[in-house]
């Protein structure tokens, strides 16, 4: 699956980083708790979250995730978008809620990956 596939499956819109749309992704994680993301991830390229603050971008940076999907119609601030651009992170927004967003990606073959 590519970032472009995620965008199509989730009816998402690009906020930044559309140039990375052909980049392959193999696993994802979804949480509003950044500490949980930091505790259990390994090689998750996509982070789905309903949390919307700069620490989401930093968490993605620390775990080497290169695509963030903001769910439930959350919109990142200009500051967050700038941070993402500096770090080469693609941001997508979708109106889906967490359960549906994760379910749609899972049913299309994306998995949660191996925990650290």
Partner 1 sequence: MSEVKLSYTISGDDFTRAGEASGDVKSKLKVLGVSPDIVRKVSIALYEGEINMVIHAHGGTIDVTISETEITMVLADRGPGIENVELAMQAGYSTASENVRALGFGAGMGLPNMKKYSDEMSIDTRLGEGTTVTMKVFLQ
27 binds partner 1 (CB under 8 A): no
DSSP secondary structure of 101-116:
HHHHHHHTT-B-----
Nearer to partner 1, 106 or 116 (CB): 116
Beta strands in 12-111 (DSSP E): 13-16, 28-30, 46-49, 67-70, 90-93
Number of residues that bind partner 1 (CB under 8 A): 21
Which residues 67-86 are close enough to bind partner 1 by CB under 8 A?
79
When asked if residue 88 is in the footprint of partner 1 (CB under 8 A), the reply is no
115 binds partner 1 (CB under 8 A): no
Please tell me whether residue 64 binds partner 1 under the rule CB under 8 A: yes
Return d(Cα 88, Cα 82) in angstroms, integer.
10
């Amino acid at each position: 699956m590519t970032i472009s596939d995620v965008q199509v499956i989730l009816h998402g819109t690009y906020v930044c980083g559309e140039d990375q749309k052909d980049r392959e992704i193999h696993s994802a994680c979804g949480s509003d708790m950044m500490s949980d993301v930091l505790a259990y991830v390994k090689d998750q390229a996509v982070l789905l979250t309903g949390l919307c603050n700069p620490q989401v971008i930093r968490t993605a940076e620390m775990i080497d995730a290169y695509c963030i999907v903001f769910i439930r119609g959350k919109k990142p601030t200009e500051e967050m978008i700038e941070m993402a651009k500096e770090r080469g992170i693609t941001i997508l927004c979708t109106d889906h809620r967490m359960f549906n967003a994760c379910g749609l990606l899972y049913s299309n073959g994306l998995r949660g990956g191996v925990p650290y």
